[in-house]
Amino acid sequence: CKGDSVQLEASGGVSYSWSPIQTLSSNSISDPFAFPLTTTEYTVVGTDANGCVNDSVVTVEVFEVTTIPDTTICLGESVALSVQGSPGNVYLWSPTNNLSSFTIANPIATPSSTTTYVVSVTDVAGCQDQANVTITTLSAPQPNVTTTIEADCEGTTISFQNNTTNASSYTWTFGDGTNSYEESPTHLFNYDGTYSAVLVTTDPSGCNDTLTLFGNTLVFSELFSADPPNVFTPNGDGDNDLFEVALNPGIEECTSFVVFNRWGQLIFESDGSSISWDGKKANGSKVPEGTYFYIIDLNGVFYKGTMAIFR
C-alpha cells in the first residue's frame, strides 16, 4: 500500500550497490528497506570476493489508481469515467449526482456544470488510493431568431434574422427538406399553409443547440382587397375618382388587370402594377358612364366583377 515499506534482500556478494537510491534506507547494504510511492524497479549490483560482478532486479508494486485525463464536453453530453492502474474490488465516486452509478469502476457521467469527480478504490488487501478527474462543460450558443414574412409571386417569403451570439456555423433544415448554411437565410414557402424551420447553431468547440420554428404562411386571398368597389365617380373632385384594389407590393409584378365594356370590347389593361383605373382609355379619352366588366389575374388566380361609372 502507499506509505508502506518492504525489506529487500540480496545475497552472494561481499558488497552491494542498489539503484535508484531515492526511496531506499541505504543503497550499499544487502537488505535495505524500500518505501516507494509508485511501483518501482530496483536493481542491485553485487561483487564477490574475487571481484566478479552480477546484478539482479526486483519490482515493488505499489497499489495506485488513475482515471481518465481531464476532459471537456458540451453541456448535456456524457462521458465514460474509468479507473485504471491497480485492480480494486471497492469503488466509491463522489460527488454522486449525475453518475450512472457511484460504486463501479466505469460509470457514465452527465454533469450539469463543470465537476471534479474523485474516486476512492480499495483492493482485497485493504490498500486504498484515490484519483480525480475534472469534467469541464461548455454551454452551446443558444439560437435566437426573428422572422419577417413577405408576399411573393411564387409563395410566402420568410426572412430569418439570426441573432445568435458565439456561434461559428449554422445549419438550417426547412420543412420541404431543403437545407441552408447561411447565417440568416431567406426561404420560399407555399401560400395558405404552415412553415417549419430547424436551426442548429455550433460554436468553435463543436457544441451545438437546436431551435425549431413553425407558424402559418400568408393567406393568398388576404393579399388584396377582398371587396373591390362597384361604383366610382371619375369627375376630378378628389373623391372616389379611381377604381382601386389594394395589393400587397410583393404580388404586383405578377398581376394583370383588364376592363371591358358591355359589348366585350377591351377598354383598359395594365400589367405588373397596382390595380387602378381612372375611367379613361389608353389614349386618355374618357369612357362614357355605364357598367363595365373587369378581370383581375393574380398570378393565375382570376377574379371577375362589374363596376359602374358616374360622372
Q: Which one-letter DSSP state was computed for residue 30?
A: S
Contact (Cβ atoms closer than 8 angstroms) between residue 256 and residue 270:
yes
Q: What single string gives the DSSP state of each residue in 78-133?
A: -EE--EEES--SEEEEES-TTBS-SSSSS-EE--SS-EEEEEEEE-TTS-EEEEEE
- The secondary structure element, H or E, covering residue 27 is none
Which triple of cell numbers denotes residue 66? 488513475
Q: Which one-letter DSSP state was computed for residue 202?
A: E
Residue 241: strand, helix, or coil? coil
Distance CA(311)–CA(307), nearest Å, equals: 13
Distance CA(136)–CA(196), nearest Å, equals: 34
Contact (Cβ atoms closer than 8 angstroms) between residue 233 and residue 253:
no
Q: What is the pLDDT of residue 291?
A: 96
**Which residue type does 55 have?**
D
Instruction: Mention every residue, 6+ apart, whose C-beta is less than 8 A from residue 260.
Output: 266, 267, 292, 293, 294, 295
Q: Hunting for cell 382609355 — which residue is that?
A: 281
Q: Hunting for cell 389593361 — which residue is that?
A: 269
Q: What is the pLDDT of residue 226?
A: 64
Q: How many CA atoms lie within 13 A of 75 on its CB side?
A: 12
Q: Kindly report the backbone phi and psi dihedral angles of residue 222, in degrees, each rounded to the nearest multiple of 5, phi listed first.
A: -95, 5
Q: Hunting for cell 363595365 — which residue is that?
A: 292
Contact (Cβ atoms closer than 8 angstroms) between residue 195 and residue 158:
yes
Residue 222: strand, helix, or coil? helix
Closest CA to 268 of 248, 251, 298, 243: 243
Q: 232-239 long-range CB contacts below 8 Å, 24 or more apart? A: 232/279, 232/307, 232/308, 232/309, 232/310, 233/309, 233/310, 233/311, 234/278, 234/279, 234/280, 234/286, 234/309, 234/311, 235/311
Distance CA(157)–CA(148), nearest Å, equals: 8
pLDDT in single tens digits along all 311 residues of the chain:
989 999 999 999 999 999 999 999 999 999 999 999 999 999 999 999 999 999 999 999 999 999 999 999 999 999 999 999 888 999 999 999 999 999 999 999 999 999 999 999 999 989 999 999 999 999 999 999 999 999 988 899 999 999 999 999 999 999 999 999 999 999 999 999 999 999 999 999 999 999 999 999 999 888 887 678 899 999 989 899 999 988 888 888 889 999 999 999 999 999 877 789 999 998 899 999 999 999 999 888 888 999 999 98
Instruction: Mention every residue, 6+ apart, whose C-beta is less than 8 A from residue 27.
Output: 17, 18, 19, 21
Residue 273: strand, helix, or coil? coil
Which triple of cell numbers denotes residue 181? 448554411
Closest CA to 56 of 12, 24, 4: 12
Calculate ∠ Cα 40-45-50, nearest 5°. 170
